[in-house]
Structure 1
Amino acid sequence: MARVNTQQLEVPNKIYCSWQDMLEILAQFSHVPVAMINRLNQHQLDVFCCNHNIDNPIRVGDTFALGEDHFCETTLKTDSILVVPDRNLDPKWQQLSKPLTAKTQSYLGIPLHWPNGTPFGTLSILDNKINHFKISIRELLSVFKDSVEAQLTVIYQNQKLQLVNKELHSRIQNRTVELANLSYQLDKESTKRKQLEREIHYQQHHDTGSGLLNAKAWELETNRIVNQADLHNQEVSVFYLGISNGQRIQIDMGAETLDQIIKQIKDKLGELGPKTQLSARPRSNDIAFTLLSNNDNKNYDAIIRHIMDVTSQDFDVPSGKVRLQVYVGASISHPQRNPQNMALTVQAYQAMQNARESGKRILFYDDNQIEGGTKLNRLESYFIESIRDNAIKLFYQPQIAIKNGQWHSASTSIRWDHPILGNVSELSISQLCDQPEIADALCHFMVRKSIYIAKQWRAIKPHFRVAIKLNACQLASKDLAMYLHLWLKEAQIPGEALEIEVSEKQLFANESTLQATLEQISSLGINLTLCDFGHGHASFSYLKHSPFKRIKIDKSFTDNLQHSSEDRSFLHSLMQITTRLGLDTVLTGVESKEQEQWLLQFDTPYAEGKKYHGPMTRKDFEQFLYKQSEINQH
């Protein structure tokens, strides 16, 4: 395999611009005239990128010859950070003929490498006066070194992939003749290949035996139709047909025979309604239908009679005819975007199970008839039911303006205490919200509740905000921005009354799919906050141009304030940079007076933690808000 020639690798303009921004920040933070990145060539070091300070005598394209043992060359030779506080006091550097610039008196530099270990050059800063370069400056230099080398890795790996692709292309061409000789064997295998292609094509969304939607695709499509129906005064109905003797047919006559019966049911039933219809095979022995109709154009009695007539007929099988034992469950959507609508498929299945157990051929879903033991998935069904019944409790924790102790906004968390399951952990709730239908239902519940609460509390304290945290699955909903616009308009409050938090880890695991939604949300005036910040997922270049206006620094940094000088220095540097980028900063997990004292040194504007108050009910929070408002008035 061909090796990558790092001397010939070019740095893309986007990465170069991010280096330029980084050097500007580094020079401003360190209060030095020169910050630069040099690139190693065969006989010299070239100035590849540098800051634009008016006092900077160095320009891109300047060169430093090798063999003169100047600062940058020494940094490369020792392969370690080089600190020269005052070259005039150091015998090693007093007689240096070319100290990079005539006025250079102090130097701080660090080597840069390609991922294969080959030197790229140096990252360094120069000063015209004595400079011992504080620990925070050295640590920031190391952080930027890691960032640059990570981008060098991307460039290197991209070139490596191109070389691999080139070699693969050559191999493919060499195999063309061999593949031509295999055409005869491929013809003999065509029948088997077609079957495999069919399975591959349908495996994601379809049942391979019948060609109908599978369970997952059916649920997603049904929920999409439900969301549209709520906006257009339409009604959605689901009919779930369970073949109780399907398993016996499959054992006695084979799976293909049952596949043919499912197809015959679909063909004989035809179109059950005048509008959209979905046909699905959620389980091997079942077939289901989702119908969309206008509220003034529905005839469920006729549909049921048709289903009963068709399923009472004999069905053709290779050995003759067979009669089916079919039980039907039905579920119909509720008006006004009821969260219960997101569980129509589960409800229809439950109604079919109840019909089978009671001996009735058809049953409509009824909450009072559904026993806990018959639920398809107890945790999921109980959660949907709790959302519908307003049994999910929201708790609120204040965010404090440290300088004056004023409550600035409220972070929202959820509690679920179920009468049967007991207190359900946040981890279990988080796992439930990986399912789109449950994630959407909880998202809509929290957003509408928070908008209502924000309206009430802004009457007590103007400009107050309510913050909710949404995961990637909830933000992936294409209709989220539309619903936010409608609900804010309905409540007659501005977007700034609401704050949406997104974790740094989830954002950058799903950045490409979430970017459009985040920009739409930001355009509504809603504040976007990047929370759990500080673990290296977000680059400073991204933050500079992102829709986020606030960051919440992860509580792990607060926990280590009293015990780690390195964490304090790094946190101080980090906060200074975010301030320069125009971002509000919130420190989380503040639990003691000592931690608060450190935050005052950092000039942190906002904080959150048990030191001020833990999560509390709406009633308790409101009482504190009233008290603070009364104090301010006096």
Structure 2
Amino acid sequence: MLMPGSLRHRLLLVIVALLAGLALATALASLTAMKQDSRQQAHEVLAVAANVFEQLLDDRAQQLGQSVQILAADFGFRQAVATSESATIQSVLENHGARIDAQLVLLMSPQGELLSSSRLELDQAQLAPLLQDIDWRSSQYSSLLMLSEQAYQLVLVPVRAPNIIAWVGMGFQLDAALATQLKGITGLEISFVLANDRLQVITSTLQNEQALSIFPTSDFLASASQQPVRSEDQRYLTLSQPLDGQALWALLHLPNSRWLQNYQQMRSQLLAIFGIALTASLLVAFWLGRSITEPLAQLTRFARQLGEGKATSELPRAKGEVGVLSKTLSTMQQQLAERQRLLLEQAERDALTGLYNRAKAEQWLGQYAGQKSGVLLLLNIRNFRHLNDAFGLETGDQLLHRLAGRLQQLTPTPLFCARVGGDEFLLLYPELPKPLAPLLQWLQKPFALQQSSISLQLTLGYYPFTHTDPESANVSTLLRRADIANANAKQQLDGIAAYQQGQDERHLRDLTIIQDLPGALAANALSVHYQPKVLLANQRCEAAEALIRWQHPSLGFIPPDEFIRLAEHAGLIQEVTDWMLRQVIRQAAEWHTQHPRLRLAVNLSPVDLIDEQLPARIAEELELASVSAEMLALEVTEGAVMQNPQRVIQVLQQLAALGIELAIDDFGTGHSSLAYLKQLPVHEVKIDRAFIKEIEHNTQDELIVQATAQLAKGLGFKVTAEGLENEAGLLKLTQLGCDTVQGYYYSRPLPASDFASWLQQFHSQHQVESRERP
């Protein structure tokens, strides 16, 4: 028993007092440190969440940028933009936007004019903030902005051909789905707000009223971006993030209960230990301190490394709140790693086939081509759109997937295989696999789908390149040449072709012609020449053939056959035909007073002959110019008639009903069917120049012309011979029964003013010769 005042008692009291004081001081110090550490952890959690939030927005911007870069580099899309094919542009924008679930897709001119948008309510005025900030010389522009009371993350990329002809953009909406996604990653509540005259909640994982209660006004937003701020009800610790640099903000809300609960629980434990065992040894205190502070330090290091994107520290194995936080951070790391993996896979792989996409192919090819030689093979599926129309999009997707599987089974195995377009696949080999024909045949073997056997018709263009060639370092050049080779393959019977040197220039020339033709038509930069058609019976010129001419400012004279062919392929032939008819009808009206019997003939394209609106447009032009239909003649080739006889005959009948004279041009070269020929409402047959130019000494041509003339006259047609070049040929054609001749013997095609002078001189000379005859 201890006696009061004894040394032992005093020592015990001193020890107890020291231990009590030490325990109390330790408890107070520990609680204070833990409170500060918990607050620091909360701030760090918010900082990590802010970094994760910014990284996710960056990933979304990269995804958008890569998708828009692919769209802007697509040749078909650039061609559609260059030729202002609004329907094709709208379809391509919708398809590409749908592939990545973009809520906004738009196209702007180089001057910033809105050309097309997936949001009908979007107008030019709403793009004013964007137009003020964008650098039109940049290769990509990314921004967060408000459009139509919605927040969007938008990426713009220039469309070049080769200069910038437009800007195409895609955007993701900052909506509830994004806020929920961010909450799932960070574990925090997320709000997107707009701070103008008043604070407006765009979307939030909290109730709007609850989000507004955190910041009743927008005055606290700027300060909250530097240091987290508690809400008025002390329930949340909030960090603000400016998005557009002006009025659009993101708010990250950390519940206070997350760190207060940990602090309060630890405080209770320490108080319990203090009350039960004041005599606890320093060793126990030291061990307890280590057991608490070390896991927290590990978690702090891990969270800091996670925020920097390089978490390498081991997480502590602990229970309670520390264990929960440890598991939370571990789960966050796994989710971020998985999301990064998925984003990387989406950025590199085609979702349908699993092959590399175009962006990855360009990256891979850029690294390879500068160091090694190889061969690019570009496969294209013929008429794949028709397969989709006939069997449905689902079957089309299955066919693409099956074809991709065969490509991965090829022997020899390609270095890489990518899907670079809707129906195009790119393969790279170190050297050309031979022979190509069996390889193509194996790929074209029928697929068993929907209880049917479906075959794909493929074309294969290839381009061998060497790493010593400076142009091989340009990926765009490699892909363009492979594409040119594939275009050549479509013209071959076996569907295989190689790139030929010099085809780049031809390709660029074709693009220039297609791009400049609409402007040339609008500016009346083309001209019309007229070649006379002379009646043999009375040596009078009562008709002429109108021929279109184009003197390009940089390319010089472009043959009509060349730009007419390109106009047909580019869908511009209607504009060319309408321009030609308008010019000729106006010229006929001008010449009507002096030459009332003069008939002007215009050539029609095969595409024109299936245009059921053509007769109505011609009738309208004739009415506007006050010109009789008898002053106009139209010439069609028999080959054009045979492409769609039933529809062409219907259009020709409507033209004939207007009173327009019709002629079959280049007769004898188109392999027409007499069964259709007798049904045509035509008045004239023109024998091709191939049978006329050497008729004076070629008996076979003479027999052909004679038989053709007899057949045509038997069917009630007039006969015109093209390509007359000398007087001996004129005598032969007269003997063989031709009614009209046309050729250089009388005159080459002349401009309108020169033709009028020639016509006046020809008739005057004919009148003199008639008076001099006995």
TM, length-normalised to structure 1 = 0.46
Which protein is bigger by CA-based radius of gyration?
2
Larger relative contact order, structure 1 or 2 (CA cutoff 8 Å, min sep 6): 1
TM, length-normalised to structure 2 = 0.38
